[in-house]
Structure 1
Amino acid sequence: MTTNVLDHHNRKVTSDSRWSITAGRQLIFVDNSGFEKIAERPLAVMICAGDAKLIDEWKRWFTTPIPANELPPTDRIELDGSFHEIYVTIIKKPEYAVVFSSGDYKQLEHRASFTGSGADFAMACYAINGCSEKCVDSASAQDPRTGGDVKYVDFQTMTSNVNGPYVSMQELEQMFSDRGTVMDLDTKQTSPISAMNKTEIAKALEAGRASIAAPTGRAPRAWTMEEKVAVSDAMRAIVEQEKAANA
């Protein structure tokens, strides 16, 4: 799953970098892939959780200078009949103003919001330390579906570690075969992916029987029409402000 944090007090967003596939009582995961859950544009940041294919489409849409009027899909049905969704939150630069959010977040007063399988662990750590990077690290030590380097955008210093080379969905899928790690969810023991696992994963992904995700930890739901209108309006305003800033 994942751990995403909206750090309102420190004006920062943070996320882990683990992507995973659940296969029975096994978790196959890849950390530090460069396929991030956070994306930036000149006057906004987007942080996502959920299905990797949907997140890929939303990141490409969000980072396009003039996004298409038609929104990317907000859910999809895999070939095995499973329903997948996406959480999207958009925060405006430089003032750190949340202009759109679709998802189920846990709130710690007005200080921070948390989502994903590691949300409870992260919130407990943040309540003591007040650090959104440290709390994602803390969640990764307790939640098997959170891990890898902590990614962030800091609105106070205007620094970020999410602007590496573009990594495609196809490249992410290949990483599962090249360097995936298998975890037994009962014992928490890990091992490098085997030749048999590689073949099984490749076939399952191609056949639509497996999905790469940073799951939300909540039952999936379809977006409302009000949410779709709201995100379109928010992006339209951001694009207009960027145009004005460059005029």
Structure 2
Amino acid sequence: MTTNVYDGAAGMLTTDSRWSVTYGKYVVYVDDARFEKLECFGDTVFMFAGKGAAIQQWKTWIRSSPGDDSQMPPHDGMSVCVVDANTNTVLFSARQDIVKEGAYFTGSGSIHAATCWTTNRCALRAIETAKERDFYTGGEVKFFNTKTRENNLYAPTNEVTMDMVRHAINERGVVMELATNKGLSPPFKRLPDLAANDAELQDLSGKLANGELQPEAPCDGMISEWSEDQKSKLSAVLGKVFGWK
């Protein structure tokens, strides 16, 4: 449930703000939970998609300003695009769904975003289009403009965590039934309203509460393993970002 775009010419990174869990015939999602898919460190911007727990580890590690790569989190379960905000250069990317004409697209709505961007050359509009055509993309469009540094990222005093996202899904998550929600006018309802009378949703809610189920921003890249070459290249890039090399 996600769409990420980086438009290199415009210096614009954009994402949706939807997180979800899939369980049996159900997908349950929450929008605007304030756990960003973009993470800034100095003049570098990281754009993530994939498994929430993996992204959480990376965001926490980045914020620690690591002195070396000895505690670098595992790579699998996510896609990432790393951008130098001074030059708009992509320093590193892995597991992107579509790369064309200096633009990068990832997530379930990537094809819709790429089609829109090809015509309109607007990363913000591309996410809005994906929201209209992909159930798995939604919420406020988040952005970071490298040229002006303007952004609408949530900047809390305390870190927003996946635990908070899990709680938000249990409190106000919206339920989709995969077997029936085929049209563009979905009869979606909230998890708390349905779980009382549905054993499968009760089970889902309980596993969310105890952490057995973790939210995701699904993308194709989260199901394949990183190569040793990719890991080595990312480590070299991070060495420059954090000043190891």
Q: Is the CA contact 1:61–1:67 (under 8 Å) kept in the aligned structure 2? A: no
Which residue of the partner structure matches residue 237 of structure 1? 240
Match of 1:117 in 2: 108
Aligned counterparts of 1:155 and 1:29: Cα–Cα separation in 2:
29
Preserved contact between residue 177 and residue 201 of structure 1 (Cα < 8 Å): no
Q: Deviation at 1:207?
A: 6.7
Deviations 1:11-34 (A, max 9, x none): 111110000111233220000000
Is the contact made by 1:61 and 1:68 (CA closer than 8 Å) also made in structure 2? no
Distance 1:207 1:156 in 2: 39
What is aligned with 2:59?
A: 59
Q: Is the 8 A contact 1:18 1:29 kept in 2?
A: yes
Q: Provide the C-alpha distance between the structure 1 equivalents of 2:228 and 2:21, rounded to a whole number of angstroms.
A: 30
In structure 2, C-alpha distance between the alignment counterparts of 1:46 and 1:218, rounded to whole Å: 16
1:228 aligns with 2:231: yes
Which residue of 2 is the match for residue 87 of structure 1?
A: 79
Q: Does 1:215 align with 2:218?
A: yes
Instruction: Supply the AA of the counterpart residue of 2:12.
Output: K
Large movers: runs of 4+ above 4 Å: none
Residues 17-56 of structure 1: pairs in structure 2 closer than 5 A: 17-56=17-56
Residue 171, structure 1, aligned to residue 174, structure 2: no
- C-alpha contact (below 8 Å) 1:46/1:89 kept by paired residues: yes
Cα drift, residue 126 of structure 1: 0.9
Supply the AA of the counterpart residue of 2:232: V
- Match for 2:145 among 131, 134, 154? 154
Aligned identity (percent) is 29
**Which residue is equivalent to 1:126?**
117
Q: Deviations over 1:162-183 (max 9, x none)?
A: 1421211111111111111112
Aligned match for 2:204, one of 201, 207, 210: 201
- Counterpart residue identity of residue 72, structure 1: P
Q: Cα 1:52–1:38, aligned 2, differ >3 Å: closer, same or farther? A: same
Alignment size in residue pairs? 231
User: Could you list the per-position Cα deviations for residues 30-79 of structure 1 after superposition, in whole angstroms to 9, with x for gaps in the alignment?
Assistant: 0000011110011200001100000000111122223552310123xxxx
Gaps of 5+ in 1: 76-84
Query: Per-residue deviation at 1:152?
Result: 0.9
The letter for the 2-side match of 1:179 is R
2:74 paired residue number: 73
- Give me the CA root mean square deviation: 2.0
Per-residue Cα deviation, 1:209-241 (whole angstroms, up to 9, x for no partner): x33100103571111111111111111111229
